[in-house]
Amino acid sequence: MIEIDDDVPAMTPQPSPHRAAFLKKKEAIDKISKWSPSKVAQIITQDPELQVYKLRFKMNEIDGSMLIALTDKDLKLNLLVENEVHRQKILDTVQILVEKVQNEK
């Protein structure tokens, strides 16, 4: 039989740093997933070079859940973003947004 010493405080298990980072990123993605197509179009096209795509994002109803799943191929074939630099800027913006939301307090 195991005896428990009442003088020793109980330890609350803490998630590993890796698990904590994963959970924080998941929370950020969950938050972004709830964004409306209008909000997505507004945020993505804050860069003046990307303003030309605002209507495409709105017309294709790209909401937050679709935004975080976008690939280079999606941007090129479905949203007709021909410029490779613009596609990379959009994908970079998505990553920056996830990190920004993740670091909000």
Quick check: is 93 in a domain? yes
Q: Is the pLDDT of residue 61 over 90?
A: yes
Quick check: is 39 in a domain? yes
Quick check: is 8 in a domain? no
In this structure, what token pair is assigned to residue 94? 């998505």
Domain hosting 63: range is 35-102
Quick check: is 21 in a domain? no
Q: Calculate ∠ Cα 26-61-37, nearest 5°.
A: 55
Supply the pTM of this predicted model.
0.76
Question: How many domains does the chain contain in total?
Answer: 1
Using DSSP's 3-state secondary structure scheme, residue 47 falls into: coil
Quick check: is 14 in a domain? no
For residue 5, the model assigns a pLDDT of 57
| Residue whose pair of structure tokens reads 């409306």 in the numeric block | 36
CATH number, residue 51 = 1.10.150.50
Quick check: is 11 in a domain? no
